[in-house]
């Protein structure tokens, strides 16, 4: 199996409804070829991890590259994996809120780290995505 983590810059402003329709399409396409992953969306960037059978991941990445809703794609890490990190989702998306002065949330430390331009995260990106997803989903699951 192969995993690719890349970042890109939004070509047009991207809101919650845009994310919803993107995920609806992407998760159907991914499910049909056994690809899973996660997409983080900030005010101006995307950070995505896709994983699965190598040829399927390459094919999905080519489709992602061709999408005019973003530019300047940069792969932060790419390589063979034994196990998936995000096997629960054919594709899940999370909006990362902008860091607010004086606001302390369960994940403000992470938000702070995510506040840098995502292309500067390098190989640390995957770990940060995992931590973020973990905390975010735990917070959202609370009643």
Ligand X SMILES: Cc1cc2nc3c(=O)[nH]c(=O)nc-3n(C[C@H](O)[C@H](O)[C@H](O)COP(=O)(O)O)c2cc1C
Given 44, 63, 116, 134, the residue binding ligand X (CB under 6 A): 63
Question: Which segment (57-65, 74-82, 100-108, 114-122) binds ligand X by CB under 6 A?
Answer: 57-65
Q: Which is nearer to ligand X, 60 or 110 (CB)?
A: 60
The answer to the question of residue 4 lying near ligand X (CB under 6 A) is no
Please identify, using beta-carbon distances, which residue of 78 and 100 lies nearer to ligand X. 78
26 binds ligand X (CB under 6 A): yes
* DSSP codes, the chain: -EEEEEEEEESS---HHHHHHHHHHHHHHHHHHT-EEEEEE-SSEEEEEEEESHHHHHHHHHHHHT-TTEEEEEEEEEEE-SS-S-TT-SSEEEE-PPP-TT---TTHHHHHHHTS-GGG-TTHHHHHHHHHHHHHHHHHH--
Told to check if 42 binds ligand X by CB under 6 A, we report no
Q: Which of 47, 91, 114, 129 binds ligand X (CB under 6 A)?
A: 91
User: How many residues of this chain interact with ligand X, rule: CB under 6 A?
Assistant: 17
Q: Which residues bind ligand X (CB under 6 A)?
A: 22, 25-26, 29-30, 37, 39, 46, 48, 50, 60, 63-64, 67, 69-70, 91
């Amino acid at each position: 199996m192969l995993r690719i983590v890349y970042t890109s810059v939004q070509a047009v402003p991207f809101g919650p409804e845009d994310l919803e329709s993107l995920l609806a399409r992407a998760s159907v396409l991914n499910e049909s070829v056994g690809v899973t992953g996660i997409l983080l969306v900030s005010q101006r960037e995307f950070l995505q991890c896709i994983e699965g059978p190598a040829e399927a991941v390459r094919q999905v990445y080519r489709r992602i590259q061709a999408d005019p809703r973003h530019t300047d794609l940069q792969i932060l890490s790419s390589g063979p994996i034994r196990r998936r990190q995000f096997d629960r989702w054919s594709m899940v998306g999370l909006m990362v809120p902008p860091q607010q002065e004086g606001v302390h949330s369960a994940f403000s430390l992470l938000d702070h780290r995510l506040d840098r331009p995502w292309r500067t995260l390098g190989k640390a990106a995957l770990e940060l995505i995992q931590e973020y997803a973990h905390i975010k989903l735990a917070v959202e699951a609370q009643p």
